[in-house]
A and B are shown apart, each in its own frame.
Chain A
């Protein structure tokens, strides 16, 4: 295998794909391997940003923007807030038991092998860049899909959010006679 030849023939798209993928994997590994929870959260934000870069390369600008606004913006800030609120420190960290570590690595390894086997077995159809519909992934296409084919699920999601909202307010409400914080 001529690696140098491969490198020479790589286009700018290839380069950006590999660089962004490396960043994504680096961020994901950092998330699970760093001991400080705040570092974990920051690594996770890096992962989300590089995932958004992937979306842009797939011509899905809207998803990229939403991914940054919702995940990197709202949810990650919430994570950081909780981490700081709970004031997690490194010292009270305990390594899980050996038996759990062994079981977890066996299970994870098996899932990993199965997924790799499935990917190797699958033949992905190549996209013809000349006949490709460039509007795929834009807001317009997404909107018309959401309000035509997926109208019912789209509307029923509101029921889900309403339950979550009503439930959170109900559970978090201070009752008469409970102490103030």
Chain B
């Protein structure tokens, strides 16, 4: 609750900070604001309840989600490096819009009324449309922004239509009211089913799960890397927990209906994501397809209404956030490598010879790739383990088999950058890394390893 209020105001302040001393205070101020917002989340710690006539629900788990989102945002802001990769950067506006978008993300994880969910989705998406198109001179960025905007607006429309249908079936927006209506053994209105399907379509689009994934590769590739990272981590986490609240806390009695829809989406996401990633040359495009397959894994954790689903999903999100931050961060650290046309080189070949040029960066990259692939001793292994254990059930046994088979495919394409790191390259000069980057990389890599060695530190805590 309090982070939402605080970030709404601090975003405004950030907009105006851009006027002073050429905006050099904007980045430290943003980090400070995000830190204060994270601390303000603790005001509600151990005081579960609802705010503003049942609009927002607060409990310790929701607060933990807000904290994860805010801390990831701090990491991303720290490695943003004043957006040097963007021509004509307007840092103050970017940082302000990032803070506003976090308002949407936190609303999506804490909502109690579907109105708040819709507003949260909309705030987060509109900021993402803007941030995707920030590199105005980049044609690919423009294409990505317009594509994302048109498709996203359509998905939002479907989501809103679904919410209206659910209101028609229940007569209330609160998710408690929905589960109450479903629990009473009366015949359910068909509008509830139609509404749920439309709501799912809207949210699965934002999650980039197949068959609603067509925007993902282009948008991930076209957007500036720092905002791609933002999309891959914060948007995904927020949407997954919005889905969790809808499916597990309000529609749990309709499990039989929605689990088949989810199963279909999971199978498609895993197949399309993993198989398309194999032949990609661009690193960002490869990570985009890998994010589709990770969306499939996250949905796998939602497939069964179990008591451990929230824990597994949070574990998965955290380890995915850490690994993605390292992977995209390494690409950001190498942004001075240019291709012939003057743009940053974002192909996998940019890592050629990295092992001799900067052993530190190559270690970070290798560990993040191993974690994304799900190799033991990294967080990625345990996250896949927990999610698959939750999903293990007679009914959807084939999905587990499919997931395991496609993880093996995943190992192939995640190892491509690792092999490239050890190839010989003509350029021998060492790479200088910004000390802030170093700190962030150490944090994320250590986090990945600690989660891999002692998973109970996080899993047992929740």
Contact = CB atoms under 8 A, between A and B. Distances in A.
Interface of A: 114-115, 117-118, 121-122, 148-153, 156-157, 159-160, 162-164, 166-167, 170-171, 175-176
A58 to B, nearest CB: 15
B52 interface: yes
B93 interface: yes
Interface in B335-353: none
Contact of A163 (B55, B87, B97, B115): B97
B53 A148 contact: yes
B127 A163 contact: yes
Contacts of A153: 55, 113, 115-116, 119
A115 B52 contact: no
A164 B156 CA distance: 15
A180 to B, nearest CB: 16
Interface stretch (B38-46, B128-136, B395-403, B417-425): B128-136
Given A117-B190, A152-B52, 15 more contacts: A114-B194, A122-B191, A153-B55, A156-B119, A156-B123, A159-B100, A159-B103, A159-B123, A160-B123, A160-B126, A162-B11, A163-B130, A167-B93, A167-B126, A167-B130
Contacts of A175: 87-88, 136
B76 interface: no
A170 B127 contact: no
A163 B190 contact: no
B56 interface: yes
B380 to A, nearest CB: 33
User: For chain B, which range describes its interface: under 10, 10 to 19, 20 to 34, or 35 or more residues?
Assistant: 35 or more
B189 interface: yes
Contact of A160 (B56, B93, B119): B119
B130 A114 contact: no
A143 to B, nearest CB: 16
B8 A149 contact: no
Q: Give the secondary structure class of B's interface.
A: helix
Interface of B: 4, 8, 11-12, 15, 51-53, 55-56, 87-88, 90, 93, 96-97, 100-101, 103-104, 107, 113, 115-116, 119, 122-123, 126-127, 129-130, 133-134, 136, 168, 189-191, 194
Contacts of A148: 53
A115 B194 contact: yes
A32 to B, nearest CB: 16
A45 B134 CA distance: 34
Given A114-B194, A163-B123, A151 B52 contact: yes
Contacts of B96: 166
Nearest to A171: B133
Nearest to B15: A166
Given A152-B51, A153-B115, A118 B126 contact: no
B189 A166 contact: no
B370 to A, nearest CB: 37
A152 B115 CA distance: 10
Nearest to B56: A152
A170 B190 contact: no
B215 to A, nearest CB: 18
